[in-house]
A and B are shown apart, each in its own frame.
Chain A
Amino acid sequence: MADPKALRDKTCVVGIGETAYTRGTTKSPLQLSMEATMMAINDAGIKPSQIDGVVLPNGHNGGATAGDYAANLGIKDLIYTASFPEMGGAQMVSAMEGAVLALASGICDYVLVPHCSYFYTGARARDMTANPSNALQAAEYIRDYYRPFGVGAPPQHYAWMAQRHMHLYGTTQEQLGAVAVAMRKHAQLHPNAIMRGKPMTMADYMASRWITWPYKLLDCSLETDGAGAFVMTTAERAKDLKQKPVYVSGIASGHPYPPHDIPNRPDILEIGLDHSAPRAYAMAGVKPADIDFAEIYDCFTGQAILQIESAGFCKKGEGGPFCENGNIELGGKLPVNTHGGLLSQAHNTSMNHVIEAVAQLRLGCGERQVKDAELGVVTGWGGHGHGSIAILRN
């Protein structure tokens, strides 16, 4: 096998775009996606028809397939398409990995990764997980073996993990709350954050209603509408483009085992990121201590803590204390989700995490800029614990 290190810094993100995030929209997912796509393409300074690869993270973007992108962008010879539906929320970084491979191998010149989340106006997450029409075996398991016992919504499966973490390591409610409070603080500094202007204290967190113990309302990510997109090319081609490239130094995807059923994993706290993170760091040739900020897939507070551990920022079990005392806030030891994350900016399935990481590494984030940022991490989590990670640098 070729050495993955050969892929280090060979490809880069050269364009990003993002629509306004809203709760409710009259626009279709396709319309939103195309708007974000054109922003990203214009940001890159290329012609739409130069795109020759489309990696569509979940394969359909609310009804629009890669073919719709070819039609709208005037791509007469679309060379490469791929999607990663099983990865759930990890699909964005896995899509970036697909783009890296397509570019580094020379199959494509410019790859577009667009994504629309339609979580407010479209079907809610609780209605999708147990619906085998999404063609995932895991959905059939949920329908036949969990749902009859009133377990069907993502916070419920994920609360199992949080409870286990509390039992094994003494993680507290306030430590979960510290994650939510930090994300909310950061959202105050982002002009395109749903929760901007709505600050939240630990007391607000503790007073919020229970959803599924140990998760409260404010442990749960938002349900919003909006789209984003990024454009990638090779380091060689990026030299002639208008933006300062953001290089993919390391990237990897990983899976829990068995992937399709949380309860029957030997250790339900062993997640996909435990497998992928060491591979990504080895590819990048850096250590967790070198990282300046991290955009962590914060679908729920406990899942953010698990990933902070598995991404190597602290030891297993120490994620709770790690998130306290402003450690994960701007100015802290490891700023996490400088945009407010899924908890307080918007839920765009981590497309917003990728875009924020690129924006940080362009050093253009104003009052929420991580000073002198050189290395950032983006993680993805989804489909019951699949985990992807990108290590980006400027």
Chain B
Amino acid sequence: MNTNVHDDYQLPVLQGTAKEFYTYCKAHDLRFQRCAQCKTFRHPPRPLCNKCYSFETEWAPVKGTGKVYCWTVAMAPIGKAWVSYMPYAAVVVELDEGPRVATWVTGIPPDQLKVGMPVKVWYDELTPEVTLAKFKPL
């Protein structure tokens, strides 16, 4: 009775704030939600600023540079679509402006990754609708 609902590469559902985030990615413009009042970044997006309680938000551009925070190296597929990518490192990158993202660091074997390694964004145009912000060593 097991049904693996993730046989295909699972794309984000482009609605609400995710649609806004990925629309910027498609334009090769990495932005994060930021409180329009106190300018505190937050990710993933949510309605209310937990510092000043403003509902006003803006999509603030970042430089696209950051550092490796931690990672795992996937060696068992979470769906058929992932078999051809394995092994891949799923990395948490901390942007210089603060937000952390789940992403890939490409152009380097997973066993060469180091905590604190400086990285820079690049854009992987996966489908006509979805572009993913990935990173490579600086």
With A141-B44, A146-B102 as contacts: A163 and B72 at CB distance below 8 Å: yes
Q: Which residue of chain B is the closest to A124 with respect to CB atoms?
A: B2
Q: Which residue of chain A is the closest to B82 with respect to CB atoms?
A: A150
Write out the residue numbers on chain B whose beta carbons fall within 8 Å of the beta carbon of A264: 42-44, 99-100
Write out the residue numbers on chain B whose beta carbons fall within 8 Å of the beta carbon of A210: 73, 75-76, 87
Residue from A143, A163, A211, A213 in contact with B12 in the complex, judged by beta carbons closer than 8 Å: A143
Q: Which residue of chain A is the closest to B10 with respect to CB atoms?
A: A147
Shortest beta-carbon distance from A257 to chain B in Å: 10
Q: Which residue of chain B is the closest to A121 with respect to CB atoms?
A: B1
Please tell me if A63 contacts chain B, counting CB pairs below 8 Å.
no
- At the interface, is chain B mostly helix, strand, loop or mixed? loop
Q: Which residue of chain B is the closest to A257 with respect to CB atoms?
A: B50
Q: How many residues of B contact A (CB 8 A)?
A: 44
Write out the residue numbers on chain A whose beta carbons fall within 8 Å of the beta carbon of B73: 210, 212-213
Shortest beta-carbon distance from B11 to chain A in Å: 6
Residue from A126, A131, A148, A212 in contact with B72 in the complex, judged by beta carbons closer than 8 Å: A212
Residue from B4, B44, B85 in contact with A150 in the complex, judged by beta carbons closer than 8 Å: B85
Please tell me if B38 contacts chain A, counting CB pairs below 8 Å.
no
Shortest beta-carbon distance from B17 to chain A in Å: 9
Q: Are A127 and B3 in contact (CB under 8 A)?
A: yes
Q: Are B74 and A212 in contact (CB under 8 A)?
A: yes
Q: Are A148 and B10 in contact (CB under 8 A)?
A: yes
Please tell me if B60 contacts chain A, counting CB pairs below 8 Å.
no
Q: Are A148 and B132 in contact (CB under 8 A)?
A: yes
Of A151-159, A320-328, A366-374, the one contacting chain B is: A151-159
**Whole-angstrom CA separation of A163 from B92 in the bound complex:** 11
Q: Are A152 and B6 in contact (CB under 8 A)?
A: yes
Please tell me if A130 contacts chain B, counting CB pairs below 8 Å.
yes
Residue from B50, B72, B130 in contact with A160 in the complex, judged by beta carbons closer than 8 Å: B72
The count of A-to-B residue pairs whose CB atoms sit within 8 angstroms is 124
With A141-B44, A156-B78, A212-B73 as contacts: A130 and B132 at CB distance below 8 Å: no
Please tell me if B64 contacts chain A, counting CB pairs below 8 Å.
no
Shortest beta-carbon distance from B77 to chain A in Å: 9
Write out the residue numbers on chain A whose beta carbons fall within 8 Å of the beta carbon of B9: 148
Shortest beta-carbon distance from B73 to chain A in Å: 4
**Whole-angstrom CA separation of A274 from B46 in the bound complex:** 25
Interface residues as binary, A232-261 with B (CB distance below 8 Å gives 1, 0 otherwise): 000000000000000000000000001011
Q: Which residue of chain A is the closest to B18 with respect to CB atoms?
A: A144
Q: Are B92 and A263 in contact (CB under 8 A)?
A: yes
Write out the residue numbers on chain A whose beta carbons fall within 8 Å of the beta carbon of B92: 160, 263, 268
Q: Which residue of chain B is the closest to A127 with respect to CB atoms?
A: B5
Interface residues as binary, B38-72 with A (CB distance below 8 Å gives 1, 0 otherwise): 00001110000010000000000000000001111
Shortest beta-carbon distance from B46 to chain A in Å: 8
Please tell me if B90 contacts chain A, counting CB pairs below 8 Å.
yes
Write out the residue numbers on chain A whose beta carbons fall within 8 Å of the beta carbon of B70: 160-161, 163-164, 167, 268
The 4 residue pairs across chains A and B that have the minimum distance between CB atoms: A159-B72, A213-B73, A210-B75, A263-B100
Query: Can you offer 9 A-B residue contacts whose CB atoms are under 8 A?
Result: A127-B5, A127-B6, A144-B44, A162-B72, A163-B70, A212-B74, A213-B87, A260-B44, A268-B92
